[in-house]
Amino acid sequence: MLTLVCVVVGEGRPFPVEIEAEKIVGILKDKIKEKIEYGGRADALELYMALKDGAWIGSKSSIVREMKKGVVHDTVKELIQEDMELDPADTIGTFFVGGQEEKKPEIGARQIHVLVVVPSGKMTAREKSKEDVEKPPITRKRWAELNKVLDVRKKMKKLDGMPSSIAYSDLSWTMVEPIFEEYTIPYRPPKKDIDLNEMDGLYSCLLRFTKAFGRIFSGKEAKRLFFIAPILAYVSYLFGGNVQVLVEENVVGEKVHTNGRFEFVLRRGSKRICIVEAKKDDMDQGLAQNLVGCEALADVEQLDVVYGIVTNYTQWIFFKSEKDWIHQHNTTIQLDQDDLPAQESLRNIAEIIYGILSDDNESNNE
């Protein structure tokens, strides 16, 4: 019998779970679900080993102390990557005991062994109880930090005799990275299957556009919008007119001291996906522009959650900005020698957008 000490990422309070080494990880998920009083399906929980440089994370380490304050340490971010998730069909012993060829460090006291990631937007019973306690919102703290940067930039523009209004595009990633990095964790966005006939239609459209406009990365940069737009339009069409595609949408913040424009905004009810094209293939600058813009949109429309996409057509960054965390996922569209998209990677992008826009955000989340 093994006693594994687990901790929910973002909550930071260790708890023990007893389980036999020959049991599978799926059973460990069942035990953790019961322990944390999680209301969703046990198989939706993501489990990772808290093993760094051949040693278990200490239960009294700065990593755990920071987690209790709501800060996710860089070490934790490195350990909860998608390709490191524990296979629910494998045995506990495989990961926490090992064999002669790959012996795991001995399990003992004052150690953390399992990192638990609760699906985005869900809460454990303990987290809900924390929400009931009045405290300064993390969003307000993030906005205050962001406004310090924006206000300094505004003063510099005044000194240079330029208009004092700060647009998203005036900001570089280095300016806002210290603010957003603290709250950013990787995640697996929802996906929802799209009918093959619809995907064939989208692929045919991009095939025609490639023949008409020429190679993607030749000519003027604005050409890429003509390849990004069909993906957004095809997915939006699947909702039978319930998704609006807004073009060059302007947003002026109130509590967030900035203004700017998104290339596109997908709107379905209260859900928003803000899309920014990465200029000069600078994905970091595009991310800075979009993250700040989404904060302004959340401000003026009083939204708890805003989704964003940064893309240059081949590279795609998806993020979900909410009051406590910013969840980020990076992926790509693969192109062949004729600049035509690989159908599987194109399908992946379209199904992520479809999943985000759908009411059931847990559909096919694998």
Q: Do residues 330 and 204 share a domain?
A: yes
Q: Evaluate whether residue 182 is within a structural domain.
A: no
Top-confidence residue, 122 or 5: 5
Q: Do residues 243 and 318 share a domain?
A: yes
pLDDT tier for residue 170 given thresholds of 50, 70 and 90: confident
Q: Evaluate whether residue 273 is within a structural domain.
A: yes
DSSP-assigned beta bridge partners for residue 275: 264, 309
Residues 6+ apart with CB under 8 A from 85: 46, 47, 48
Q: Do residues 210 and 89 share a domain?
A: no
Please tell me whether residue 282 adopts helix, strand or coil conformation: coil
Q: Evaluate whether residue 27 is within a structural domain.
A: yes
Last residue of a domain, one of 107, 130, 153: 130
DSSP-assigned beta bridge partners for residue 335: 341
The predicted-structure confidence for 129-151, as pLDDT tens digits, reads as follows 444 433 336 788 888 888 888 88
Last residue of a domain, one of 130, 153, 174: 130
Q: Do residues 117 and 203 share a domain?
A: no
The predicted-structure confidence for 216-272, as pLDDT tens digits, reads as follows 887 788 899 999 999 999 999 999 999 999 999 989 888 888 888 899 999 999 899
The predicted-structure confidence for 13-69, as pLDDT tens digits, reads as follows 899 999 999 999 999 999 999 999 888 889 999 999 999 999 999 999 989 888 877
Closest CA to 59 of 97, 101, 114, 105: 114
Last residue of a domain, one of 87, 113, 130: 130
d(CA 23, CA 45): 17
Q: Evaluate whether residue 58 is within a structural domain.
A: yes
Residues 6+ apart with CB under 8 A from 352: 189, 190, 191, 318, 329, 331
Closest CA to 265 of 237, 299, 297, 221: 297
Q: Do residues 232 and 119 share a domain?
A: no
Q: Do residues 108 and 226 share a domain?
A: no
What's the pLDDT score for residue 243?
95
Q: Do residues 259 and 115 share a domain?
A: no
d(CA 40, CA 235): 28
The total number of structural domains in the chain stands at: 2
Domain of 285: which CATH number?
3.90.1570
Domain of 10: which CATH number?
3.10.20.90
Please tell me whether residue 276 adopts helix, strand or coil conformation: strand
Q: Do residues 340 and 202 share a domain?
A: yes
Q: Do residues 201 and 124 share a domain?
A: no
d(CA 186, CA 157): 35
DSSP 42-111: GGG-EEEE-EETTEEEETTSHHHHHHHTT---HHHHHHT-GGGSPPTTSBHHHHHTB-SSSBPPPP-SSE
Q: Evaluate whether residue 302 is within a structural domain.
A: yes
d(CA 261, CA 29): 43
How high is the mean pLDDT of the chain?
A: 87
Alpha-carbon dihedral 175, 180, 182, 187, rounded to 10 degrees: -140
Give the DSSP H or E segment for 246. strand 244-252
Q: Do residues 104 and 249 share a domain?
A: no
Q: Evaluate whether residue 230 is within a structural domain.
A: yes
Q: Are strands 305-311 and 271-277 parallel, antiparallel or unpaired?
A: parallel
Q: Evaluate whether residue 179 is within a structural domain.
A: no
Range of the domain at 19: 2-130
Please tell me whether residue 115 adopts helix, strand or coil conformation: strand
Q: Do residues 120 and 267 share a domain?
A: no
CA atoms within 13 A on the CB side of 13: 8
Q: Do residues 120 and 206 share a domain?
A: no
Query: What average pLDDT does this structure show over 161-175?
Result: 68
